[in-house]
Chains A and B, each alone.
Chain A
Amino acid sequence: MKSNYGKILKDGIWSNNPIFVQVLGICSTLAVTNNVKNTLIMAAGVTFATGLGSLTLSAIKDLIPRKVRMIIQVLVLSFYVILVDIVLRAYLPAVSKQLGPYVGLIITNCILMGRAEAFAAANPPIASLVDGVANGLGYGIVLTAIAVIREFLGFGSIFGMRIAGAWFTPWTIMIMAPSAFFLVALALWGAKSYTARAEARRKAAGAVRSR
């Protein structure tokens, strides 16, 4: 069974990455990617909520009547998001203030509902937990990479520490909305081309072997 969990983990992080392959959940978190620290905190929140949300929904899946499934899923997920919100408010009030409505918006992040529907509804609890965490991580890694680029080019800093010298002129566009769309598109392009090339190479290798 262990290798199975490994596969779920790899699926979530790479081969079925929520951003590249499923194109889900871009909504609520792109807004905070002009700052690495906030992005990491958001990603952790999403991972926590997807993981435990999937675990819970998978555990109670036989008890939920089909008709009210959606609303129950949303309620369970919002419970975990409220936990995230309360913890942030208590321990990181400054960050909580900066993130503003985006913490609450984790509820409507499509990844949560997507995983609940696509995986947790048909799989045992522990596998669902792994799947949720893997998707959260896959999502977090992509967003963090985008945040590093945006914060570096936009402010000349990473984690709020100035890295570039005084000669560096910040690219104002990088802290504004359009750059996030461009960077996601570029990342998507890279990932898709890489996958396509790997696929072609595997096919070529297979053809040679079969000959």
Chain B
Amino acid sequence: MPESPLINPLVLFFASILTSNILLSNFLGTCSFIAISKDWKSSFGLGLAVTLVIGLCAAISWAVLYLVIIPLRIEYLSFVIFIIVIAAVVQVLEMVIDRFSPSLYLSLGIFLPLITVNCAVLGAVLFMQIRKYSLIQSVAFGFGSGAGWWLAIMLLAAIRKRIENNPVPAGLKGTGITLITIGFMAMAFIGFSGMIAVQ
């Protein structure tokens, strides 16, 4: 086991929501973020799904990393293994949700497969590997990152709804104004950085 950084998992959880938001400071998951945030309800569903997937993947990948990859010395395969872990988690989660909550499945259904290629999930897993988090820290970091992504997409969906009818220069309509909005949100989130100092 590696020497983990000494950060209280709870601090890490809140830091990954606010100060080092995976979307606003690391640009991860921007594609689906822009595509889905048109609609408030879908944003809620996707945010929930992403939070679950990142949290679970962080924990499982941690176990795979320290129990399989490092003992077998196959670090060069870690990207492929992580992707397979993510795809498997998404698949299993899809089946579990389908079995136990058909209504949630109906609302999440189309988003789940998309999450496999959401950069935020793989990004969180790779950050976990590089920063050598312990298991508890990984879980806190995973769920925190997911929650941060969720918070950001909900906020953006609300803002987009609000500016829908505003006069925007033709060339900026759609993606352009959305990117500028995200930029402002990122600036606002920088304001949190004095609160918790991590990284």
Give the docked Cα–Cα distance between A196 and B172 (Å).
Answer: 12
Q: Which residues on A sit within 8 Å (CB–CB) of B172?
A: 185, 188-189, 192
Q: Which residues on B sit within 8 Å (CB–CB) of A85?
A: 79
Per-residue interface assignment for chain A, residues 100 to 143, with 1 indicating a CB less than 8 Å from any chain B CB and 0 otherwise: 11001101111001000000000000000000000000000000
User: Judging by beta carbons under 8 Å apart, are A110 and B183 in contact?
Assistant: no
Does A92 make an interface contact (CB < 8 A)? no
Give the docked Cα–Cα distance between A107 and B130 (Å).
Answer: 17
Q: Which residues on A sit within 8 Å (CB–CB) of B117?
A: 70, 74, 108, 110, 113
Does B119 make an interface contact (CB < 8 A)? yes
A124, chain B: closest CB distance, angstroms = 25
User: Judging by beta carbons under 8 Å apart, are B183 and A182 in contact?
Assistant: yes
User: Judging by beta carbons under 8 Å apart, are A24 and B130 in contact?
Assistant: no
Give the docked Cα–Cα distance between A71 and B169 (Å).
Answer: 40
Q: Which residues on A sit within 8 Å (CB–CB) of B195?
A: none
User: Judging by beta carbons under 8 Å apart, are A192 and B27 in contact?
Assistant: no
A205, chain B: closest CB distance, angstroms = 21
In the complex, chain A residues 167-189 whose Cβ is within 8 Å of any chain B Cβ = 173, 176-182, 184-185, 188-189
User: Judging by beta carbons under 8 Å apart, are A105 and B28 in contact?
Assistant: yes
Q: In chain B, what residue has the closest Cβ to A113?
A: B117
Task: Please tell me the number of chain B residues within 8 Å of chain A, measured between CB atoms.
Answer: 44
Q: In chain B, what residue has the closest Cβ to A81?
A: B79
Q: Which residues on B sit within 8 Å (CB–CB) of A184?
A: 179
Given A31-B26, A109-B119, A181-B182: A193 and B80 interface contact (C-beta under 8 Å): no
Does A164 make an interface contact (CB < 8 A)? no
User: Judging by beta carbons under 8 Å apart, are B113 and A177 in contact?
Assistant: no
Give the docked Cα–Cα distance between A188 and B169 (Å).
Answer: 12
Q: In chain A, what residue has the closest Cβ to B31?
A: A110
Does B76 make an interface contact (CB < 8 A)? yes
User: Judging by beta carbons under 8 Å apart, are B186 and A78 in contact?
Assistant: no
Does A15 make an interface contact (CB < 8 A)? no
User: Judging by beta carbons under 8 Å apart, are B87 and A176 in contact?
Assistant: no
Q: Which residues on B sit within 8 Å (CB–CB) of A109?
A: 119
A86-B76, A107-B79 known; 4 other A-B pairs, CB under 8 Å? Answer: A104-B126, A179-B183, A182-B180, A185-B176
- What are 6 A-B contacts defined by CB distance under 8 Å? A28-B123, A79-B80, A86-B76, A113-B117, A179-B183, A190-B171
The interface of chain A, by Cβ under 8 A from chain B, is: 23-28, 30-31, 70-71, 74-75, 78-79, 81-82, 85-86, 100-101, 104-105, 107-110, 113, 173, 176-182, 184-185, 188-190, 192-193, 196
The interface of chain B, by Cβ under 8 A from chain A, is: 24-31, 34, 76-77, 79-80, 82-84, 87, 113, 116-119, 121-123, 126-127, 129-130, 169-172, 175-177, 179-180, 182-184, 186-187, 190
